[in-house]
């Protein structure tokens, strides 16, 4: 395989809100030499926020709203991290990101264990057999018993686990971690900037007692013996097939256990893998370039009202200014300023290899899921929009700013933040989202980025579903009967807005020849 592609590692960090994803991302960047001081995410005294949270609304609330992309070099590897939003209202952004990565690190809070959002995200990984590493965070606070945690991980995430490091107590008594993979002891000193000291130690000698005391040393020997008995040897092949997850313990905020995670990760994680297209499987080391757009972000730089399309390179090598085919439009495009990211800072690149993620300037030419190739007709699949569950009418609150509102809504819908339906009965615009918080984000961004004001009006709907049928007459009859609840999406497809679960069920029974779809891919 091409050595450039071989050294790429592209992964996403996923977790429940507040488990410490963004803190972990910061510490990985610290080891990669990309940032010198990590911004303590919660501290108000130092006016610093996390590097990967760059939108104003993210800084105010201390949560991540969109996925950010960061790349750095570590040893001989080139690492691409995608830090995803943990909040369930932005789950769609996270699902789409998972289509663009080769492996995943799941962060779990040591005190809370596995939470709902983590289960959902794990299901998406399981559908694609994505390899997973688990990092149990916040061991410097009181945490659950490590054996209980491992059982919970196996049961809740339905995956076999194998610890590669083992904690010595937690909370105020936390002494450090024993690295099973390298057979060394790491002693904990609470500090956000200094890296802990490492001791090579044979656990069966008295040397261990001098470091952590006789009582704890006895306990540790017992626990390690138990581990070796219960859990099978760690096999890299099982991890790569997605059937086994290695587990690490540490504290991201105090920079502890992160380096072990990173060192093991670059050794065992997969380099770019083949990607399925509708026509065939695409190998990463093919000579010709192919890639797909998995995300679009408006206004990364507030001074320029521009959108950036994130393109995942699936095969070959991308070259600046070379002609590439935009498959959906059938047009040839050239890109004079493709960029690579460090969250909001970006630099122009001349070439990128399979596994890399590049930003292409976009003035409305791209949609999520578009494919770029050197001429071959390829279509990458697997970027669904889910049917929304919350709906509101969007109304213009300032008639002087109609154009700005129009443009703002269009760009934000291109990003895939939410979905827009136009009611066929009264022509009003309805925005559908997966979570309540998205309405606030749309309103905030329209006002701050597009200088347009909107107000929301309630509409009581249960679910939106796309309909199609081979029986034209029945489709017409259905539209006539339900004309108040028919809408069109941005592609001009028919959408039925059901106002209750019962109505939807009856419609499915009465009209047998109509197919009801709950994702926009069919």
DSSP 75-109: TTEEEEEEEPP-SGGGHHHHHHHHTT-SEEEEEEE
Buried b (16+ CB within 10 A) or exposed e, 342-367: bbeebeebeebbbbbbbbbbbeebbb
Where helices occur in 129-213 by DSSP H, the ranges are 146-157, 207-212
Q: How far is CA 505 from CA 124, 127, 483, 498, 516, in A?
A: 27, 28, 17, 9, 10
Q: Write the class of the CATH domain 390-517.
A: alpha beta
- Give the separation between CA 372 and CA 378, rounded to whole angstroms: 8
- Mapped onto helix, strand or coil, the DSSP state of residue 507 is helix
pLDDT tens per residue across span 30-63: 777 655 444 434 333 333 445 555 456 555 555 5
- Report residue 167 CA to chain centroid gap: 28
The per-residue pLDDT for 20 is 81
Domain ranges of the chain: 3-170+232-268, 275-373, 390-517
Q: For residues 429 and 420, is the Cβ–Cβ distance under 8 A?
A: yes
Q: Which of 158, 181, 128 is nearest to 244 (CA)?
A: 158
Same fold, 3-170+232-268 and 275-373: yes
Residue 31 CB partners (closer than 8 Å, separation 6+): 74, 258, 259, 262
CA–CA distance, 140 with 176 (Å, rounded to integer): 9
Q: What is the pLDDT of residue 60?
A: 57
Nearest Cα to Cα of residue 103 among 259, 236, 253: 236
CATH architecture label of 3-170+232-268: 3-Layer(aba) Sandwich (3.40)
CA distances to 80, 263, 264, 267, 350 from 9, rounded to whole Å, are: 6, 12, 12, 10, 20
Query: How far is the C-alpha of 7 from the C-alpha of 271, rounded, in Å?
Result: 7
Sign of the alpha-carbon dihedral angle for 242, 248, 249, 255: negative
Counted residue by residue, the chain has a size of: 522
- Half-sphere exposure (Cβ direction) of 130: Cα atoms closer than 13 Å: 29
Assess contact for 455 and 504: CB atoms under 8 A: no
CA 203 from centre of chain: 39
CA distance linking residue 519 with residue 262, whole number of Å: 36
C-alpha dihedral over 439, 442, 446, 447, to 10 degrees? 50
Which positions of the chain have pLDDT values less than 70? 1, 33-68, 85-93, 189-205, 298-306, 341-346, 381-386, 520-522
For residue 463, count other CB atoms closer than 10 A to its CB: 19
| Whether 516 contacts 465, CB under 8 Å | yes
3-state secondary structure of 446: helix
pLDDT of residue 35: 53
> What is the C-alpha separation between 115 and 105, in angstroms, rounded?
15
* Structure confidence at residue 369 (pLDDT): 81
Take residue 220 and report the two structure tokens written for it: 């540790």
279-295 burial: b if 16+ Cβ within 10 Å, else e? eeebbbbbeebbbbbbb
d(CA 341, CA 293): 15
CATH fold for the domain made of 275-373: Rossmann fold (3.40.50)
Q: What pLDDT does residue 301 have?
A: 59
pLDDT for 44: 35
């Amino acid at each position: 395989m091409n050595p450039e592609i071989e050294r790429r590692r592209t992964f996403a960090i996923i977790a429940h809100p507040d488990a410490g994803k963004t803190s972990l991302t910061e510490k990985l960047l610290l080891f990669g030499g990309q940032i010198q001081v990590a911004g303590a995410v919660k501290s108000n005294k130092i006016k610093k926020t996390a590097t990967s949270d760059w939108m104003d609304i993210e800084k105010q609330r201390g949560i991540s709203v969109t996925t950010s992309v960061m790349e750095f070099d570590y040893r001989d590897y080139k690492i691409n991290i995608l830090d995803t939003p943990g909040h369930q209202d932005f789950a769609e952004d996270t699902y789409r990101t998972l289509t663009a990565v080769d492996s995943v690190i799941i962060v779990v809070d040591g005190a809370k264990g596995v939470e709902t959002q983590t289960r959902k995200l794990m299901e998406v990984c399981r559908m694609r057999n994505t390899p997973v590493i688990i990092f149990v965070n916040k061991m410097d606070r009181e945490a659950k018993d490590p054996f209980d945690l491992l059982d919970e991980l196996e049961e809740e995430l339905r995956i076999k686990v194998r610890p590669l490091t083992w904690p010595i107590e937690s909370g105020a008594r936390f002494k450090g971690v024993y690295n099973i993979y390298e057979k060394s002891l790491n002693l904990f000193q609470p500090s956000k900037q200094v890296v802990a000291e490492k001791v090579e130690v044979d656990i069966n000698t008295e040397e261990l007692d001098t470091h952590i005391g006789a009582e704890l040393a006895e306990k540790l020997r017992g626990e390690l013996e138990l581990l070796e008995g219960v859990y099978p040897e760690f096999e890299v092949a099982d991890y790569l097939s997605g059937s086994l997850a290695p587990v690490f313990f540490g504290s991201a905020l105090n920079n502890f256990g992160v380096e072990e995670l990173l060192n093991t990760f670059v050794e065992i994680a997969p380099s770019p893998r083949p990607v399925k297209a509708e026509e065939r499987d695409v190998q990463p080391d093919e000579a010709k370039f192919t890639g797909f757009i998995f995300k679009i972000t408006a206004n990364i730089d507030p001074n320029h009202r521009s959108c950036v399309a994130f393109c995942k390179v699936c095969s070959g090598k991308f070259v600046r200014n070379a002609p590439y085919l935009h498959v959906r439009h059938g047009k040839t495009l050239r890109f004079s300023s493709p960029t690579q990211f460090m969250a909001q800072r970006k630099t122009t690149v001349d070439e990128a290899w399979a596994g890399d993620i590049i930003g292409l300037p976009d003035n409305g030419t791209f949609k999520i899921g578009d494919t770029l190739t050197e001429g071959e007709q390829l279509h990458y699949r697997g970027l669904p929009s889910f049917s929304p569950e919350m709906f509101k009418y969007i109304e213009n609150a300032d008639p002087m700013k109609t154009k700005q509102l129009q443009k703002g809504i269009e760009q934000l819908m291109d990003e895939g933040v939410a979905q827009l339906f136009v009611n066929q009965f009264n022509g009003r615009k309805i925005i559908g989202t997966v979570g309540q918080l998205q309405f606030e984000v749309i309103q905030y961004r329209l006002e701050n980025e597009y200088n347009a004001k909107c107000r929301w009006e309630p509409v009581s709907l249960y679910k939106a579903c796309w309909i199609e049928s081979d029986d034209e007459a029945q489709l017409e009859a259905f539209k006539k009967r339900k004309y108040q609840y028919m809408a069109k999406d941005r592609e001009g497809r028919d959408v039925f807005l059901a106002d209750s679960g019962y109505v939807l069920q009856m419609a499915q029974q009465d009209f047998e020849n109509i197919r009801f779809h709950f994702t926009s891919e069919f």
